[in-house]
Every structure is written in structure tokens, then in C-alpha cells.
Amino acid sequence: MKLKVCGMRESANIQELVALKPDFIGFIFYDKSPRFAGDILDPEVVRQIPSQIKKVGVFVNSNPDFIMGMVKQFDLQYAQLHGNELPDLCRILRHKGVNVIKAFSIDSTFNFATLNNYKPFCDLFLFDTKGADPGGNGVAFDWTILKKYDQDKPFLLSGGISLDNIQDVIELSSTLQIYGIDINSRFESAPGLKDLDQIQRLIGSIRIEEEEEIAL
């Protein structure tokens, strides 16, 4: 199970996280977010992140020129689209060589058929909790809803994942092909500042489970 840590912006915090070797690190380029990277994010620190850790820019209803500008400035490998973006924007970014993660807010009324038009132009989906603001708002949705998903495209699970429910996620992964998890606010000491001890404990839980599966 892959790990994406989102909402990073403080240089020292980023460098400490890199030492834990997550699979993805996310930076939010949405100015209404309390974790907006803004002028805080140092391009040189981001560019020095080892290539095996993929860098993700998170955008909400941004135009392609702005997205590509951030991709070039910070050497991002992925654009995560967290608004009401249409498949055409995903297509444009893919044609420009950017990997695309399209996020969808999920509740009991979500129609998974809407994903069909996105599938050709996205590398991953991200399923988050439907709320008042873009993003999961630190709350988990009813993950059993994902049993309705056809699994054609790998997905990241997001929204309210914490040390308290990571075992539930691991158990769910035995019936759903969860590519990875996306964590953010539940692992913070302040907006945009991650608690590395908690993340290390999370990584330990995931890797212990993987080691047990390999042993079996």
C-alpha cells in the first residue's frame, strides 16, 4: 500500500518527511486552503527530493497554464485535480507529460459511472469525503461504498485516515484493491506542519502488515 503525505510546505518538515521515504509528497496550490504552499514553499528544497518520491501538486479548478507553471517551477510529476475539473483538462495535462490524479468527493449518492469519461486521461483516482470544502475535511466516509467501484483504475483512499482507523483500511484492502492512502490533517501539529512521529508509526503499521502477507 502506497503512502501519500499531503499539505507539506515547511522546508525542515519536508526534509524530515523525506527521510521516512513516503511514496508521494503533496503540495497544495489552492489559496483558500489553510495548507496553501504560497510563498512558503522553497522550490530548491522540493527539487532536491529524491526521484523515487513522487511530487504532487494539488489544484482546485485551476487553468492549465497555472498548473504547468507550478509543475515546471517545482519539478512536479503529478497534478492532483481536486475541484470540478472536466476530463478535457486531464487530457491536456496528460498530453503535456504530466501524470494526473483526479479526486472525487464521495458519499452514498455518488455515481461511479461518472468516472468512465476520466479513465483514459488519469493515472490514479483519489476518493475523498464529500464536505463543504475541497478535500476530506479530516472526516472518513463510509468506505464500504467503494465496493460499487469497478476497480478499472487504481485509487488512493483519503479522508480522515488516522492511527485509530488504519487497521480498518488494511482490512478493507483485502477486499478492495487500494493502491494507497492519502493522509493530511489527522497527522498534523498545526496546518501544514506534520507530526513525523505519528507518520512513522503509520508507516510501521503498513509495513508490518506487508511483511506478514509476504510471510504467508
For residue 19, give the C-alpha cell: 527521510
- Range(s) of the domain holding residue 146: 2-215
Task: Give pLDDT tens digits for 93-131.
Answer: 999 999 999 999 999 999 999 999 999 999 999 999 987
Sign, Cα dihedral of 133, 138, 142, 147: positive
Task: Give pLDDT tens digits for 28-79.
Answer: 999 999 999 999 999 999 999 999 999 999 999 999 999 999 999 999 999 9
Residue whose grid cell is 478535500: 135
DSSP code for 36 = B
pTM of the predicted model as reported, rounded to 2 decimal places:
0.94
Residue whose grid cell is 486521461: 121
Number of domains in the chain: 1
Q: What is the CATH number of the domain that holds 201?
A: 3.20.20.70
